[in-house]
Structure 1
Amino acid sequence: MILWMVLTLLVALAVVGLVIPLARPRKAVDAAATPTGILADQLSELDAQAAAGTVTADEAARLRLEIERRMLAEAKGPDAPARPLSEKSLLRLAFGLAAVVAIGATGLYAVMGKPEIASANAAAAKAPDGTAAPPPDHPGGDIPAMIAQLQAQVARNPNDAEGWRMLGWSYFQTGQFSESAEAYDKAATNDPANPEHRSAQGESLVQAAGGQITPAASAAFRQALKLDPNDPRARYFLAVEKDQAGDQAGAMADWIALINAAPEGAPWVGEVRNFVEDLARERGVDLTGRLKPVSGGAAPRGPSADDIAAAQTMTPDDQQQMIRGMVEGLEGRLQEQPRDAEGWIRLMRARMVLGEPAAASRALKQGRAAFAGSPAEQARISEAAKGLKVPGA
């Protein structure tokens, strides 16, 4: 009831603010207060002074000429803005618009408003036993709610490395990269044997610095490599550091070595390979014989500039067939290697673009099922599905 009273008051204020400017009556213009009226008074006063002899005839004639010139100039000024409607018509228009605003605002809130959200979130923040509820693993879950729950969780148990890791991931997804780096640092402190915490911290620091490999990020990557010399994220970004320092050949060699050492079916290798091939093409670097052949289980490559140019010469049917082939290839790989959240998101996006919402909904369900033991990844897939307007999201 209180909420509706507040909303009624706000609508009333909006209505008043709309009606007053339109319904306000026009004020009569005082002719004596206009510039022309003032000059006319000066002219009368000049005639009185000439009659009294306080000014000479020549001086009076000169002043009269100047005043009359100014009166003509003022007379050519812009007219007052005209009202296209009469006072009664404006009044009807004002109250009509006010009615539309009031009815529209009330109807819109009745359809889209959710006055129960605050209480529902507060209830969901705790589990029945009074502890923080786990991150949502259902379509209604959202990252901001997860962040609040995880903050409460690590506040109660600051030694919870997994809680800090999930909080760092959540911050990263919402663009809070500095906070993400701090959370990953806490995770690494509580679980120092896990190299992924340090490499994730380094990536967050890179994002916070706008893509630059800062000394702190470099240190985090190097700590990750001490724990796991094959950590792909640390190796990739340390190659980026070389490239930013001007050692382009060294960076390219490191990226090639990273791709060639990738385990069979690694979900990230396709993206890194695409990046390296495009960069080599841009810089005129010959990669012949330097990259291992793409195996059947590798991630399908996205279209290159040559692919796009070739597609532009195809007929619409051929283009559609090519696109469907790429999408089906992605879906086939995900059936074999389902633990790829980014792949499921790409598949949902492709299905929606192709106008296949039922297939996108199926991909959403399969993606959630693939991460049944990882609420954070489920929430990521669900958030992406909601943004894509996938049915069931």
Structure 2
Amino acid sequence: MTLWIFLALLALASGALLFFGLGGRPVALTRRDGSVAILNDQLAEVAADRDRGLISGAEAEAAEIEIKRRLLSVARRTEAAPERRGSGRATGALLAVAVPAAAVLLYLQIGAPEVAGRPSEEVAAQRAEAAQVAALTAELKARLEGDPEGGPTEGWVLLGQTYMTMGRYEDAAGAFASVAGREEADSSIQSRYAEALIAAESGVVTPKARRVIDRAIALDPANPAAVFFLSQAREQEGALVAARALLVERLDSADGFQPWMELFIASADRLGEQTGDAPLDLARYAPMLGGGRGPGAADVAAAQDMAPADRMAFIESMVEGLAARLEDEPGDVEGWMRLIRAYDVLGRTQDAAQARAGARAAAEALPGDDPRRDAVLRALDGG
């Protein structure tokens, strides 16, 4: 409400400036005003010359008659073609209404009037946190670069992952490049390096990224992230059938459900729309999704080789799906325990606490002779 009051006052102020500024008397004289002023000055000069004796009374009278005749002539021309003195006020009135109205319409179109402004303390806290992260990241980089032995591989990987989270993809690629040639650089590091290179080019798989992808595939042909990026490269080359086949082949070779499957299926179906292939059946690879199985710690860990954004989006969707089902089936003790583990892995402590309350309520509702009751309650109590 405060914002709208401020905007209204601002609109009124700007409208008043436009109205009175353009609607008042013009600063520059019109041609008529100039002629009248000159003739009046001439009349005054004639009178002054007569008073000083420079001209006779007859001469002064004749001059005054001629000047007054010119004044009448100017007046007649003005009546025949009246000046539009009111046009400035009309223009001011129009702009006084149009400018604020246009501003409001533009704000409603591209602004967010329904979103409350964030307190300055919150903005300051976020900026301070971002500055702290940037400082710690710079310190980590300095330590790694200052290490005479080149810095530990784990440190460079952490730096690269931090840069990815910050959206500094070129810096992330540089961090992964520092260790990509090391003997201990496995397929996971290579695929992370490829991901950073692709992100730095706005999703384009460059020849350099393609070489890194091939290296990741050579180290581990089953690396889902490397397979996904290779499919992306084939798609950009125009080999849509081959790109889709890579995804389907990896899906078929998986040993049981994996968290990256939904992303693979979505990508394969998108390609299938262009190749004429039928959509894949998610239940074929993950029949437990329909039954409400939620991701556990192993499921979340198995998604670590996926692109960060895709990985988190998929895991979050799985977790939210399980949480939604438990609202309808609050008595599913096993479901609550899986949800607790998923929240713990994701670091969502508050949600995990709420899930523990749901699990406790479900366990306490079980019959006393149900062995799950005591087992769940002991687990929730840390026993």
Specify the TM-score bucket, using the shorter chain as the normaliser.
Answer: 0.5 to 0.7
Residue 63 of structure 2 is aligned to residue 52 of structure 1: yes
Deviations 1:210-246 (A, max 9, x none): 2221111101111222322333322222222222222
Alignment partner of 1:334 out of 285, 296, 302: 296
Number of aligned positions between the proteins = 284
Alignment of 1:111-126 (within 5 A): none
Alignment partner of 2:140 out of 150, 153, 162: 150
Does structure 2 retain, via aligned residues, the 8 Å contact 1:153–1:163?
no
Report the Cα offset of residue 335 of structure 1.
6.1
**CA distance in structure 1 between the aligned counterparts of 2:267 and 2:126, rounded to whole angstroms:** 47
- Higher fraction of helix: 2
Residue 317 of structure 2 is aligned to residue 346 of structure 1: yes
Kindly tell me: are residues 53 and 181 of structure 1, through their superposed partners in 2, closer, same or farther at Cα, counting changes over 3 Å?
same
Bigger RCO of structures 1 and 2 (CA < 8 A, at least 6 apart) = 1
Alignment partner of 1:270 out of 255, 262, 266: 262
Percent identity of paired positions between Structure 1 and Structure 2: 19
Report the Cα offset of residue 276 of structure 1.
0.9
**CA distance in structure 2 between the aligned counterparts of 1:154 and 1:339, rounded to whole angstroms:** 27
**CA distance in structure 2 between the aligned counterparts of 1:160 and 1:178, rounded to whole angstroms:** 20
Deviations 1:341-392 (A, max 9, x none): 6355335555788997x99x9989634644xxxxxxxxxx45xx59xx9698
**CA distance in structure 2 between the aligned counterparts of 1:121 and 1:44, rounded to whole angstroms:** 69
Gaps of 5+ in 1: 1-17, 82-104, 126-142, 301-324, 371-380
Please name the residue that 1:307 is paired with.
none
Pick which of 245-254 and 209-218 moved more: 245-254
Gaps of 5+ in 2: 1-9, 15-19, 44-61, 94-116, 304-311, 355-383
SS at match of 1:267: coil
Does structure 1 retain, via aligned residues, the 8 Å contact 2:163–2:172?
yes
**CA distance in structure 1 between the aligned counterparts of 2:64 and 2:161, rounded to whole angstroms:** 94
Pick which of 37-46 and 170-179 moved more: 37-46
**CA distance in structure 1 between the aligned counterparts of 2:288 and 2:175, rounded to whole angstroms:** 31
Alignment of 1:164-175 (within 5 A): 164-175=156-167
SS at match of 1:212: coil
Please name the residue that 1:214 is paired with.
206
Please name the residue that 1:101 is paired with.
none
Residue 176 of structure 2 is aligned to residue 204 of structure 1: no
Does structure 1 retain, via aligned residues, the 8 Å contact 2:180–2:190?
yes
Does structure 1 retain, via aligned residues, the 8 Å contact 2:172–2:196?
yes
Does structure 1 retain, via aligned residues, the 8 Å contact 2:191–2:212?
yes
Kindly tell me: are residues 115 and 180 of structure 1, through their superposed partners in 2, closer, same or farther at Cα, counting changes over 3 Å?
closer
Q: Bigger radius of gyration, 1 or 2?
A: 2
Please name the residue that 1:319 is paired with.
none
TM-score, normalising length: structure 1: 0.53
Alignment of 1:157-196 (within 5 A): 157=147, 158-196=150-188
Alignment partner of 1:366 out of 341, 360, 367: 341
Kindly tell me: are residues 267 and 164 of structure 1, through their superposed partners in 2, closer, same or farther at Cα, counting changes over 3 Å?
same
Alignment partner of 1:78 out of 89, 102, 110: 89
Does structure 1 retain, via aligned residues, the 8 Å contact 2:169–2:200?
yes
Please name the residue that 1:225 is paired with.
217
Alignment partner of 1:43 out of 5, 23, 36: 36
SS at match of 1:294: helix
Kindly tell me: are residues 284 and 145 of structure 1, through their superposed partners in 2, closer, same or farther at Cα, counting changes over 3 Å?
farther
Report the Cα offset of residue 144 of structure 1.
4.9
Report the Cα offset of residue 52 of structure 1.
2.7
TM-score, normalising length: structure 2: 0.54
**CA distance in structure 2 between the aligned counterparts of 1:251 and 1:344, rounded to whole angstroms:** 24
Report the Cα offset of residue 164 of structure 1.
0.9
